[in-house]
Amino acid sequence: MAISDLHIWLGLILMGVAGAVGHFLLIMAYERTSTATLMPYMYVQIGFAMLGGWIMFDHVPDHLSMLGIGLIALCGIAGGLLTVHESSRRRQLA
């Protein structure tokens, strides 16, 4: 089955370019700062993925999925807070 609609091809090309630019910017961010600094921002993807699923597909995760998402986000927040605490202790000791 061949794709003959120009709009589909343009959409696919746009998604590919947007993905490549996003990955390039992520690589640049990892070159400029530590992983521990960037990881809390990576958890924002969960919220945007849920929002995109709701807007595009009218899908809302069930209760068990929301529990898992909450657990992942909670662990990310705890990791970020631990990193902040450890870096402040290092500054105090130095």
Rounded CA separation 36/93 (Å): 20
Average pLDDT of the residues in 3-27:
93
pLDDT 10s digits, 30-62? 999 888 778 777 878 888 888 999 999 999 999
Residue 82 vs residues 24, 46, 70: alpha-carbon distances, Å:
28, 21, 18
Q: Judge contact between 7 and 1, C-beta under 8 A.
A: no
Q: Where are the domains of the chain?
A: 1-32, 34-94
At residue 67 the predicted structure's pLDDT band, cuts being 50, 70 and 90, is: very high
Rounded CA separation 45/57 (Å): 17
Q: pLDDT over 70 for what percent of the chain?
A: 99
Looking at residue 63, its amino acid is: H
Q: pTM for this one?
A: 0.60
